[in-house]
Copies of this chain bind each other. A is one copy, B any other.
Amino acid sequence: MPLVVQKYGGTSVADPDRIRRVARRVARTRRARNDVIVVVSAMGSSTDDLISLAHEVSSDPPAREMDMLLTAGERISMALLAMALHSEGVPALSLTGSQAGILTDASHGEAKITEIRGTRVREGLEKGNVVIVAGFQGVDPTSKDVTTLGRGGSDATAVALASAHGADVCEIYTDVMGVYTADPRVVPEARRLETVSFDEMLELAAGGAGVLMARSVEVGRRFNVPIHVRSSFVEDEGTWVKESTMEEAIIRGVAHDTSEAKATIWGVPDRPGVAAALFETLAGARINIDMIVQNVGQDGSTDISFTVPQSQARAARRAAAPLVKELGARDLAVDTDIAKVSLVGAGMKSSPGVAARVFRALADASINIEMISTSPIRISCVVRRGSVDGAVRALHAEFDPPVITEEVGANG
């Protein structure tokens, strides 16, 4: 029997009505003779509500207890979904992350899945149940403490379960119709992509496309689990994320991200080991670095810029400040009024001139570029926050229709 993993986010299970709707959808999948594993997030804003409660009792809640608290959220939604499925006449069994064998490291709040032990899920399926698994959570087998996986954790749970149990597809249900050529709120003429490769999806996610987090795409790519991103409100097909096909687009889409801040260290002495010292320090403080740009100046010193999540901007400054002094750098500035716009497409690596067209399109729209970073299939520019919508529209228009396909060889 085919095995389908379905993941429903918080919006899809926000209230009893929606939970019943999800149950009907799961029931249809089950009746179509599939084994089904369902991964659920906490209901609507309930995780935020729990976080608020925590901050009402403590200004600095310990991470272990925060995880204990937050894992109550999925416990509620998964039990309710199991009940709703029983009401539909479909046997169902809910399992916590720990019960479903989701083992993680000990990093409370941002744990990584290290192993999946599938016994209880397998037994549940063999007895004819739909097995419902709490997303976003696992257990550290050493301390036996529960952990949470951090942002995008439920998607990661779903794709990891799909991989461990050899699922035929991992369906990610969300409140949008799939992956778009740009954010439709910014570019009304943006179109839904039918397929996108793992590599492209990784770049789109890194560029700010919030529909799917990079970590779940990485798991999907590593174990070749096709991911189907689709709406929980309509039956239409969404976007398939899978291995690249014969037909490869030059440009897939435009992503943007307003959640980052830019830090610049001015006048760093230009000698070996300086960058290493800086980024080792930041890694030690668990700061997530996205873009890094360094240019060597002519006076024997250099400027290093990097972007970090805005939520970590203060921590980054705290971590880097002593080092700035130590290295004899001139100054450290953190700028939160920035945004990043990225053009993504696996075909651009064989299409010269794409970068030039990007810079020209932005220049024509009078948008100044503050940082540039590229990969073989992506070009990212940091611009002023206020310019980002214009930048997205300019790039989408320049490469319109953004999905430009060409026939490539069997190595494509």
Contact = CB atoms under 8 A, between A and B. Distances in A.
Most buried by B among A19, A23, A64, A76: A76
A103 interface: no
B57 A76 contact: no
Contact of A75 (B60, B72, B80): B72
B83 A16 contact: no
A294 interface: no
A72 B72 contact: yes
Nearest to A71: B75
Contacts of A86: 58, 60-62, 65
A296 to B, nearest CB: 48
Given A65-B94, A72-B75, A75-B72, A19 B57 contact: yes
Interface residues of A, number: 39
Interface string A78-97: 11111110110000111000
A58 B72 contact: no
A59 interface: yes
Contacts of A64: 93
Interface string A98-132: 01000000000000000000001000000000000
Contacts of A73: 72
A76 B71 CA distance: 9
Contact of A57 (B53, B59, B80): B80
Given A57-B81, A61-B86, A69-B79, 18 more contacts: A16-B57, A23-B57, A50-B76, A54-B79, A54-B83, A57-B84, A60-B87, A61-B83, A62-B82, A65-B80, A65-B83, A65-B92, A66-B83, A68-B75, A69-B80, A69-B83, A75-B75, A120-B144
Interface of A: 16, 19-20, 23, 50, 53-54, 56-62, 64-66, 68-69, 71-73, 75-76, 78-84, 86-87, 92-94, 99, 120, 144
